[in-house]
Structure 1
């Protein structure tokens, strides 16, 4: 969008206007130089850069910035020479021109009072840069450029960022340190400037000034209220329809009364009844016509209110390019500092994205690209040996898919060595060697999202500290999005990010909790169920139910939100499943109303961050609703579980406990005994233990068990004797018995089976699932 289209610019000073001009024209120069570096023979790219340099020169002359005039003139000369084939713009010469672009941008961002002091303080560096630009045809190899300029201050002046458009330019480039890779050029220190904690490009401006954001929030609130008012017509129309039906019944009675009077002989009554019938007809027609008018009015109001919301949201949408236009330069500079050749291609630049989301994903995208360049991309020699082009390519594509924003970032680098991840997992004791060996590619790649998990052998200023993908994962999840990664060794790495198109409108599941409406973002809801009271089981004071072979923990939403005890007395409980992986819980609510699209309204900052609550909204009928913060909610549930403070939901909790199948584990090894107990208890069984054969025999006779699991070699009475006693007992002979022993010779197995054992498992070969599968074969799942 041009500045002229942004309205009256008379409020801005000449320095502000020059800043706007510089922001736009330096971006053209940067994009053109990167394009020309990739396609050195494309002289058509030079013409726009010549115009940009000329525009900067003219604008700088107006505001009296002679330094910028000379710099721009030097760049113009270089472009003219290149256009006539007298000068080849090699990467080192492009570095010099980019350094000049950075200096122009740095000077443009100074306020009026700060220009002269800054120019005086940096005179030597400025002179060296200008001399390099003016003598660009004679640049030595490797390039000798001045050290970096100090960081630029924030852009001054209200509304300048918006008038200048979104996007940002990197700060001035830096010369290489001793020992930098050949050809690193002045970009060697660029990664340092780009590695700020916030992850944003240096000097980046907000995508909208605060006043614009406040105006938008107010407009969205008004549009939302308009939609609510339109929806409130519906109950009025329903009342009118009821009135019409009652009126029809009344008119029918009047007609019957008239017929009855007409059959009589009273002329006076007949005349009055006919008059009543005649006066009723216009009333009937009046109601019919006005109901139709009201329906048309409601339809128009709904259409207008929806259009208003859509238009307000459209004001918030920005093209994807506005948030990523500085990335090609960052990738190029970072690659050069590492002695690599990498280019970034951006597809779907016109894809519209909510400006808030665009601002918040800049840091995650920055991390992904930096990881791709540093971890994934090989140098030219390594790529050549692998049969790849010397220049690596990263492709970033944005598009709308299924009502969401999809961002794919793929490279043609070396990919990730899954075996290195496997070894790292074992070395850091995150899993046993056996568990790690059984992990799939997707499971192994998930470790890359963990904090402090890095495959780099040494930490650098760019990466290797384990900070990167964990930030990406957390930031995207905070925006109600998901991240998925894939890799093929030697072929490349791909990151797939899915996000809502906007945070201003959220599709939510509305539920009742203690008589109040609450909303859960639909992207955080895994499923909605009705759970019968008799299907709820209790283990160690925690309640759960079985769904598709998985035990889902039940938690009262009222208790988590500190609204009091749940009044769950119905035969079936409404349940909303939230979370993922091991942190999945079934929230018990009072009722489920259904889905609605809600215009999100921020809670006044005076309240601070409300625990378990992210925002507020108004339902279609005007009722206020709080939107639950699901990640926060999961933390609250974890805290309750840790403290053991969960309330019971199901009636008859003790009776439900007796419905669990009971297993007796007999083993003289404390380690083996406890491991088996934990495995079985986690699967939902009620487990008792005995320390040897005698103890086991006494326990099994005093309890009602569904299975006995016993060792063979034990003091006082071994497992074979215990099996014999059980199988010969009148009351226990049908009780299944499993032997788990280190003895794996055929004769040992035959001895156990001949004693009457129903299953023989060797400890040397079994793992967790083997034992659980054997138990399932004998007695099924944990529920009676």
Structure 2
């Protein structure tokens, strides 16, 4: 959620924070278990589930929910066994673990006053579920399904044929797939033997694309060589002209020997002229052939990754029919552009967002047939899913003839949830109001129904599309229908990018994420609260130095005009100031070596047409970096300014992937007067600690992407940070874990069980003293 990094969570109680964390982590557990049930050996899913269970356990311990601690601990043990190959997560075992997930979710949604009564009423069921989880490895198959306990204080509605209501941003659960036919298990090894491992395919493709891209670059490098030959031809022509003039001058002399030599020199120039002309023409023809062949090689390699759009959507018509019937509606799906070619990776990534948008259309947009006929519409609702290539991009449109969205209802909900002042909300356009549907947990419905219990929201759709360098936009007209526009690159292997120069270095911005390219006169720039703006279509658009965001130094503001690239959307739209704009190029994306980890603000690398390396900017990451600069008040005015004075209050960085633990530590430290920044995992912590000036780092051990021990090791090895005190706070209190942390260089090792007293604050005081200098 967006509050994790910069939002103020101080108004929430610890139980509220636990509910937020449980909602997100149980979703990870559910998705992971379903993935394991399908894929059997999804190592990344097991790793994610282990972290989710660990986070839930820690958060539950803080709020005193011992039942959840025990459930999460048992699930964590099961995941460790699965990771080590000692436990197969069969469908029946997944049922048991999902029952545990349901218990955790139900407990997290109880009010304080309901907990004891609910635990008493469901004690036997809880005991059976805990026993099933702790003994999951020893239970023979088939394991009896453990039904989830009933939700607290919810009366059962009377039977009715009316379709249930769902909140916007949620989607219902698809029915489980049919069991595999007999013999399917035996056929799996044979099928695996017939098809090479996906990783091998990916490696072969990357190598082929790299070679084809290098061939294309070599072809482009013929061009400057030909330009040099043309320059040589011009110089040679000048020389020949001088020889002709010299010959004419000598012809008027009386020296016969000199005349003869002059004539001979002139005669020798003629074959040289012809030689250069013919060979330049030959080389230019060769260049054209080489460019054509190299580009064809790139195209052919990319074609190996392309699939027809139908391959990713062929199951949607049946899904739409079945879901509509289950809701008492009559809906048909029309698919246009089934032959449109799409990169197989992109097609796989967008299947879930498309699935969600179709389900949303059925659930929220479509009325039963009788209601549609009553307003003059056909009884059968229609959803159109269309894919096509447009301007070198993949364009996907989803439209329905349902009831649309009531914009006034969105406006009222925005005001009710205090997401914008009433005066501002009243002036918002329809497009601005629809943007709120992309926010996490934003809903126009009051309750969550059974069928939408494990759904994902429009915020996930937005994030998934954005992660593929795409954009999504929605339109709606009340009573007429809903329209979704998705734009994506045709492939992630070749990206059309705008190449810019920042402090003498080339950087590329995916063209799909560039809104405008401008030249901004210095005279139009104005300053407000130490930030610089200019007028952009009636909007005050903030200027941000690319050099500062990328930590390359200060931007010189000597020229009369600034080269600006507009990125982002809505309130997060910024004008990125660069030194120069070189133009557009198609770049063959090359992954950065994993040894570097996730580089902040950088997504990949490539080679320009002239063979020079270029880094491709990660625009969503770049927007986060800009937000952080704005939040910290560190945005400079086109040139780096010196700090007025050293701050007076000590600053602490808290690194923990658990929302609850982060907020607990933040509140404790703020109450003592320290300045506190937070990071959500080890990589984020490493990026933040290098860009800030901290007096102490407090870190967890078990975190995604980079654990706390690695973070401590990097800090202590860094020439600028090695003296920075680091405290490890972890549930692991075994002597060997403590020794591992201290040997990495940690200055203090504390267990999270100490949060309920002054131990944490005393330890901080021991390391860095009071909050004020």
Residues 1:331 and 2:320 are matched in the alignment: yes
TM-score (norm 1): 0.56
Counterparts of residues 79-478 of structure 1 (less than 5 Å): 192-193=173-174, 209-463=198-452, 467-478=456-467
Deviation at 1:590, TM superposition (A): 1.7
Q: 1:271 to 1:298 in 2, by over 3 A?
A: same
Looking at CA atoms only, which structure, 1 or 2, has the larger radius of gyration? 1
2: CA distance, partners of 1:444 / 1:412 = 20
Alpha-carbon separation, structure 1, partners of 2:525 and 2:422? 36
Question: SS at the partner of 2:263?
Answer: helix
Task: Assess, with a 3 A threshold, how the Cα gap between structure 1 residues 437 and 517 changes in structure 2: closer, same or farther.
Answer: closer
Q: Residues 451 and 467 of structure 1 are in contact (CA less than 8 Å); yes or no, is this contact kept in structure 2?
A: no
2: CA distance, partners of 1:342 / 1:608? 47
1:620 paired residue number:
609
**C-alpha offsets along residues 748-771 of structure 1, whole Å, 9 cap, x if unaligned?**
xxxxxxxxxxxxxxxxxxxxxxxx
Q: Distance in 2 between matches of 1:512 and 1:396?
A: 40
Report if aligned partners of 1:454, 1:466 keep a CA contact under 8 Å in 2. no
Match of 2:495 in 1: 506
Q: Note the C-alpha offset of 1:608.
A: 1.8
Aligned to 1:566: 555
Kindly state the Cα deviation for residue 237 of structure 1 after the two structures are TM-superposed: 0.8
User: How far did residue 628 of structure 1 move?
Assistant: 0.7
The alpha carbon displacement at 1:534 in A equals 4.1
Q: In the TM superposition, what is the alpha-carbon distance from 1:312 to its structure 2 partner?
A: 1.9
What is the alpha-carbon distance in structure 1 between the residues aligned to residue 519 and residue 494 of structure 2?
28
Query: Deviation digits for residues 388-442 of structure 1, max 9, x if unmatched?
Result: 4444332212222333222222223232233332332222222344444443332
Q: Does 1:545 align with 2:534?
A: yes
TM superposition shift of 1:381 = 4.0
**Residues of 2 paired with 1:367 and 1:255: CA distance?**
79
Deviations 1:314-360 (A, max 9, x none): 22221111001111222223223323333322222111111121111
The Cα of 1:517 is off from its aligned counterpart by 0.6
How far apart in 2 are the matches of 1:307 and 1:618?
18
C-alpha deviation, 1:467, in angstroms? 3.9
Aligned-pair distance for 1:181? 6.4
Question: Secondary structure at 2:452's aligned position in 1?
Answer: coil
In the TM superposition, what are the counterparts of 1:585-596 in structure 2 within 5 Å? 585-596=574-585
Q: Deviations over 1:513-548 (max 9, x none)?
A: 111111111222222233334443333222223344
Q: Is the 8 A contact 2:554 2:639 kept in 1?
A: no
Greater displacement, 267-276 / 383-392: 383-392
Residue pair 2:173, 2:454 contacting (<8 A) in 1 also: no
User: What pairs with 1:633-672 in structure 2 (closer than 5 Å)?
Assistant: 633-649=622-638
Are the counterparts in 2 of residues 181 and 339 from structure 1 also a CA contact under 8 Å? Answer: no
Query: 3-state DSSP class of the match of 1:192?
Result: coil
Deviation at 1:617, TM superposition (A): 1.0
Distance 1:535 1:425 in 2: 34
> Shift of residue 551 of structure 1?
2.6
Conserved 8 A contact 1:368-1:468: no
Deviation of 1:486 after TM superposition, in Å, equals 2.4
Aligned mates of 2:323, 2:196 — CA distance in 1: 25
Distance 1:609-1:248 versus aligned 2 partners, 3 A rule = same
Give the root-mean-square deviation of aligned CA atoms: 3.5
SS at match of 1:587: strand
Q: What residue in structure 2 maps to residue 739 of structure 1? A: none
Aligned to 2:26: none
Checking the alignment, whether the CA contact within 8 Å between 1:370 and 1:462 is kept in structure 2 is no
Q: How many pairs are equivalent?
A: 472
SS at match of 1:528: strand
Find the aligned partners of 1:316 and 1:607 in 2 and give their Cα distance.
Answer: 27
Closer/same/farther in 2, CA of residues 525 and 183 from structure 1, 3 Å limit: closer
- For the Cα contact (< 8 Å) 2:172–2:452, is it kept in 1? no
Identify which range, 438-447 or 269-278, moves more after superposition: 438-447
Which position in structure 1 is the counterpart of 2:479? Answer: 490
Deviations 1:478-529 (A, max 9, x none): 2222222222333332222222222222221111111111111122222223
Alpha-carbon spacing, 1:629–1:488, altered in 2? closer, same or farther (3 Å): same
Quick one: distance in 1 between partners of 2:387 and 2:197? 21
CA distance 1:286–1:223, shift in 2 (3 Å): same
Q: Tell me, which stretches of 5 or more residues in structure 2 are unaligned?
A: 1-89, 93-155, 164-170, 178-187, 643-773
Cα distance change, pair 549–396 in 1 and its aligned pair in 2 (3 A): closer
Contact map agreement 2:470 2:513 (CA 8 A) in 1 = no
Q: CA deviation at 1:240?
A: 0.8
Contact 2:470 2:486 in 1 (8 A): yes
- In the other structure, the counterpart of 1:598 is 587
* Stretches of structure 1 lacking an aligned partner (at least 5 in a row): 1-116, 120-176, 185-189, 197-202, 654-784
Q: Which has the higher contact order (CA 8 A, sep 6+)?
A: 2
Contact 1:361 1:476 in 2 (8 A): yes
